[in-house]
Structure 1
Amino acid sequence: MSAALRPRVLVVMGVSGSGKSSIALRLRDELGWPFQEGDELHPKANVAKMAAGIPLTDEDRGPWLDTCAQWIRERLEAGTGGLLTCSALRRVYRERLGEGRPGLHFLYLKVPEVVLRARLERRRGHYMPPTLLPSQLRTLEEPGADEPALVVPVEQTVDETASDVIAVLRRLDTQSS
């Protein structure tokens, strides 16, 4: 289904509970591009802070964003494409990740707050508690029209959302041909 797609790096972004990992893993299965869970790149101090219910500061996020940016650069240079989950909540974070690099796009998963709260209350085994959602929502700057972002309202199943994303990527390929 996706063999003809031009490899690119997609940063699957959004607040906690938006479905970043589920959608990115489904896209990985469909596209065969390398996948990196951004949460796994956080320094231990960040994980401990979030697990304690303390929101991260921009200073806390800096080293993590730099590690994510390195992963993105490596995939772009290799030409393999890639899928990275990363909240990328603010424009300055997206710029730090490499906004403007050819082949890099942000996939913003837009989910209603009531759905996010319900998902986080049900989630088990993740270090970030639901009490940090308000902090993330306050920090969130949705991508602007001038950013290389695909905005996807997540109102369907993971499979349907992934299919919609692949259809958009096909259109991008057609437009750039």
Structure 2
Amino acid sequence: MLVLYNGYDSFGEPFSTEQELRNWYWSEEMGDAVLAEADYEEMGGGALAEADFYDKGYGFFRSCMDSGFAHDALVPLVRWMYQRGINDTRDIDYEDLRAWIAQNTPDEWDEALVIFIESDTEVLGIPDLMRELRRLPEPIAVVGGAREECLAEVLIALDALGKEYEVIEALTY
């Protein structure tokens, strides 16, 4: 099990360290609440005790998300960049991108998104998180918070990688 979080390593205070987060999950209050709302076996039984924790960082897709571009518009761009080892939209050769769009998936692409990222005023970055997600066995159980923010970034990354996952609603807010 891989637990992704925004933590101290990325943001400093007041964000949690890995150990503080582990303690919180297993505190008397949170431990009972989590287990009461979820199927313990579905979540892997005692897997949280053996889980790897990864400070995922934040904001790699946010400028596009905050500008109103939908999940389905971002996934093909993230996939295209990841497959080509492009980590930053400022490094894109837009002639190559447009040629690839025209030949392969013209209906999937949101031209407004291409224009937006081409402006160089906003940046979309491919996070190191993609390597962590890629190695996970499928199907992946996804839980967490900030469904339209942090969790949405993780789901975009999973879809760009073509990973099979299920959002466990009882543990998602």
Q: Is TM > 0.5 for Structure 1 vs Structure 2?
A: no
Is the radius of gyration larger for structure 1 or structure 2?
Answer: 2
TM-score between the two structures when normalised by the length of structure 1: 0.26
RCO comparison, higher one (Cα < 8 Å, 6+)? 1
